[in-house]
Copies of this chain bind each other. A is one copy, B any other.
Amino acid sequence: MKLHPMWQEYPALQADLSASLQLMEKSLKLKNKAVEDAILAMIHSGGKLLRPAYQLLFSSFGSDKDHEKAVALAASIEMLHTASLIHDDIVDHADTRRRLPTIRATFGNDVAVYAGDYLFVCCFKLMADYASSMKSLQMNSRSMEKILSGELGQMSKRYDVDVTVADYLENISGKTAELFALSCFIGAYESGASLRFANQAKEIGQSIGLAFQIMDDILDYSQAADHLGKPVLEDVRQGVYSLPLLMTLKTDRARLLPLLAKKEMMTDADTQAVYQLVQNGQGLIEAQTLAAKYTDNALQAIKKLPETQDQSKAYLYRITEQILGRTN
């Protein structure tokens, strides 16, 4: 069980995350062993497990100390995340993720469709088995609906050079932030916290998710390609324009438009040129400013949370600083 090294300084949380991974593993029961192994490899490929981590941390704020349940619901959320990654890789034609071949690359789109579906179902199964309230399942369905409606909405905006910052924020609000928000909500609510508190947790998750996705989109433009687990700028070729590019489009439109107009025919030299224009403009800095705003919102809100008996509140603060300050 190889966890991301960032959890070494949080031994109790590390142990819970390990237990969640183990439960995910145990929940898989496929006759097709090759596919089962591929899903297992993906689960163990060193994803950061941020969503289950936030869920576990927020479960310390309620009065119900059902440890087994908290671990199971965290596993459920990570399965949902993994399912959506498998389907995203189909849509993005991605060949690698976290330096491993994707399921679609190894087994084809066909297997990847059902493998993702299977994990979705495993998520709902764990949730239905362990959640105490129908409310959590309803929240879960609504979040998923928002995520998918967002993904489908984004598709209709591909290659649209007039996507606004508001469109972008709405899009990542569904695509990424919603699942962070759900994790924080369910963590709090299923541990017996009040609905009011759980909604506060949800808002914190929302801010963290927005900042996280903006930072991720900034990383695409600020790191060398060989430092990333997925092909940088493939998104641009596929017409998905993220914040740094959208902000650069405002000032450097004349030079960017002819490159982007080539759409899927963009050469590597074209995407490199886009990369340079974004790096040299103000777009990256403006994006960083916006990410910092959401990070600050989250940190301020965490500060105001009630104290917990364990270290959870302090950890929430520190982990949020760590993951969102990662390019500093």
Contacts and interface: CB of A to CB of B under 8 A. Distances in A.
Contacts of A110: 90-91, 155
A35 B152 contact: yes
B31 A149 contact: yes
A111 interface: yes
A66 to B, nearest CB: 15
B145 A138 contact: no
Listed residue (A30, A121, A151) with the most chain B CB atoms within 10 angstroms of its CB: A121
Interface stretch (A50-58, A124-132, A192-200, A280-288): A124-132
A219 B87 CA distance: 33
B113 A91 contact: yes
This protein's copies in its complex = 2
A134 interface: yes
A31 B121 contact: no
Interface in A98-148: 109-111, 113-118, 120-122, 124-125, 128-129, 131, 134, 137-138, 140-142, 144-145, 148
Contact of A118 (B31, B116, B145): B145
A142 B116 CA distance: 16
Given A113-B90, A156-B34, A121 B134 contact: no
Contact of A145 (B115, B121, B134, B156): B121
B149 A128 contact: no
A32 interface: yes
Contacts of A35: 152, 155-156
Given A137-B128, A155-B32, A122 B109 contact: no
A6 to B, nearest CB: 30
A26 interface: no
B156 A141 contact: no
Nearest to A152: B32
A231 interface: no
A110 B109 CA distance: 10
Nearest to A83: B117
A123 B32 CA distance: 26
Interface string A176-202: 000000000000000000000000000
A173 to B, nearest CB: 13
Contacts of A149: 29-32, 118
B113 A125 contact: no
Given A125-B138, A134-B128, A137-B128, A111 B145 contact: no
A255 B149 CA distance: 51
Contact of A117 (B125, B128, B148, B153): B148
Given A114-B152, A149-B31, A129 B138 contact: yes
Interface of A: 29-32, 34-35, 87, 90-91, 109-111, 113-118, 120-122, 124-125, 128-129, 131, 134, 137-138, 140-142, 144-145, 148-153, 155-156
15 contacts: A29-B149, A30-B149, A30-B152, A87-B113, A90-B109, A90-B110, A111-B155, A113-B113, A114-B151, A117-B120, A120-B120, A121-B144, A124-B124, A124-B144, A131-B134
